[in-house]
């Protein structure tokens, strides 16, 4: 059995890395009491809270945290008609926080994620590890069997090409979870009591040409490098699918990272995922996606972007056209999603004019 860490008595991190260059984005429908546990590690940073659901509800944030909070009324006011691209009643709304941030880096975490313990019993500062991942290069073009060669105590193994050892910039750091694994509904139903107790002390680069299931509950990325591709799609209220928001973003991001020569890392850090969602509710949200992904994944595996696509925005617009052309036959939803992808980029460029292609 694994338990969350006790952070009482851990002093506030006054030397926090990238304190002025990173925003923490949290989607929520409830009071953020969970931040008390994270206070030693997260209080020095600025929070962007995206309130889902009823905008008239007041969300309580523990004292001492620097934050801005946006509800649906704010999203509608800021984006106007383009607010249609931001999901409602789904954690996909978090990507609005990515759009309004002005920082170089983003860390996003769910409100049911607590501080994990490493095998020695020490509390894991997940954000610090994410930052280390992002500040070190990735090695997507040739797999290093000793995991991340840039970590202290590791290196490239014999036979690794010297011409590739410089690596590439890391765009995404994908963290993992102790306790409740990130399973789909069918797996939850057949393994209702399964808990992840394995803490694997490893970080690795996901190879070029390999897709992965990205989970948004413990994720960090370089907003300058890949931000416009971190769109979590149309999910939740009024949509035929849910719980594929982070997956969709991950597939798009990986195709674009591969095209632009950027890296994606996965592994450390761990968080403690405290709450299992209802598998029957999840199945209702996921069931179409479970069928559709058998076509969606081959689509992304075969997607080829043009040489003319040299910015993230250009890549994303090209992808949106491919989605409309090749996935709309599966369901009209994909026609709508492709249009929303374009709207997202338009809204991103309006709020971030310096990044406009």
170-211 pLDDT, tens digit per residue, is 999 999 999 999 999 999 999 999 999 999 999 999 999 999
Q: What is the mean pLDDT of residues 11-18?
A: 89
Residue 69 lies in a domain: no
Q: Which residues pair with 47 in a beta bridge?
A: 24, 67
**Residue 357's pLDDT band (boundaries 50, 70, 90)?**
very low
In whole angstroms, give the CA distance from residue 177 to residue 175. Answer: 7
Residue 24 in any domain: the answer is no
Helix runs in the chain, H state only: 35-42, 72-79, 95-100, 126-135, 185-190, 223-226, 245-260, 279-302, 312-326, 333-351
The length of the chain is 357
End-to-end CA distance of the chain: 50
Q: In this predicted model, what pLDDT tens digit does every residue of 132-166 receive, in sequence order?
A: 999 999 999 999 999 999 999 999 999 999 999 99
Alpha carbon distance 23, 42 (integer Å): 10
**Which DSSP string do the residues of 264-278 spell out, in sequence order?**
EEEEEEEEEE--PPP
**120 part of a folded domain:** yes
Q: Which two tokens stand for residue 247?
A: 């997956």
On whether residue 99 sits in a domain, the answer given is no
* Any domain includes 61: no
**Maximum C-alpha span of the chain:** 60
Q: Give the chain's domain count.
A: 1
pLDDT for the residue 355 = 44
Q: Is 343 domain-assigned?
A: yes
Residues 6+ apart with CB under 8 A from 46: 22, 23, 24, 66, 67, 68, 103
pTM: 0.97
Read off the pLDDT of each residue in 222-227 and give the average, rounded to a whole number.
98
Q: Residue 302 contacts by C-beta under 8 Å, 6 or more apart in sequence?
A: none
40 in any annotated domain:
no
Residue 123 has pLDDT above 60, yes or no: yes
Q: Which structural domain range is residue 125 located in? A: 112-351
Residue 268 falls within a domain, yes or no?
Answer: yes
Using pLDDT thresholds of 50, 70 and 90, give the confidence band for residue 354.
Answer: low
Which residue, 178, 50, 195, is CA-closest to 114? 178
């Amino acid at each position: 059995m694994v338990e969350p860490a006790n952070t009482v008595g851990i002093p506030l991190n006054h030397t926090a890395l990238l304190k002025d260059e990173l925003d923490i984005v949290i989607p929520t429908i409830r009071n953020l009491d969970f931040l008390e546990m994270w206070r030693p590690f997260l209080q020095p940073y600025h929070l962007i809270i995206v309130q889902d659901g009823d905008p008239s509800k007041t969300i309580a944030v523990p004292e001492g945290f620097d934050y801005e909070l946006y509800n649906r009324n704010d999203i509608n006011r800021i984006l106007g008609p383009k607010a249609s691209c931001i999901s409602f009643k789904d954690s996909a709304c978090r990507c609005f926080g990515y759009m309004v941030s002005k920082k170089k880096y983003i860390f996003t975490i769910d409100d049911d994620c607590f501080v994990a313990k490493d095998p020695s019993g020490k509390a894991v500062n997940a954000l610090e590890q994410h930052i280390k991942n992002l500040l070190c290069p990735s090695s997507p073009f040739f797999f290093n069997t000793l995991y991340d060669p840039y970590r202290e105590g590791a290196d490239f193994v014999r036979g690794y090409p010297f011409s590739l050892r410089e690596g590439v910039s890391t765009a995404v750091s994908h963290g993992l979870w102790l306790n409740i694994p990130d399973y789909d509904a069918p797996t939850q139903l057949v393994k209702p009591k399964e808990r992840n107790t394995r803490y694997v002390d490893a970080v690795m680069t996901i190879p070029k040409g390999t897709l992965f299931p990205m989970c948004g509950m413990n994720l960090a990325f370089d907003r300058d490098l890949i931000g416009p591709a971190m769109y979590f799609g149309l999910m939740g209220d009024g949509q035929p699918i849910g719980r594929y928001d982070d997956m969709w973003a991950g597939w798009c991001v990986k195709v674009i990272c591969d095209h632009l020569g950027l890296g994606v890392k996965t592994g450390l850090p761990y968080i403690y995922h405290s709450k299992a969602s209802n598998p029957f509710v999840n199945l209702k949200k996921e069931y179409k996606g479970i069928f559709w992904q058998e076509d969606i994944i081959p689509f992304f595996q075969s997607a080829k972007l043009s040489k003319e696509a040299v910015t993230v925005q250009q890549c994303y617009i090209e992808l949106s056209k491919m989605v409309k052309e090749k996935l709309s036959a599966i369901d009209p939803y994909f026609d709508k999603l492709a249009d929303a992808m374009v709207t997202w980029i338009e809204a991103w460029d309006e709020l971030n004019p310096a990044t406009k292609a």
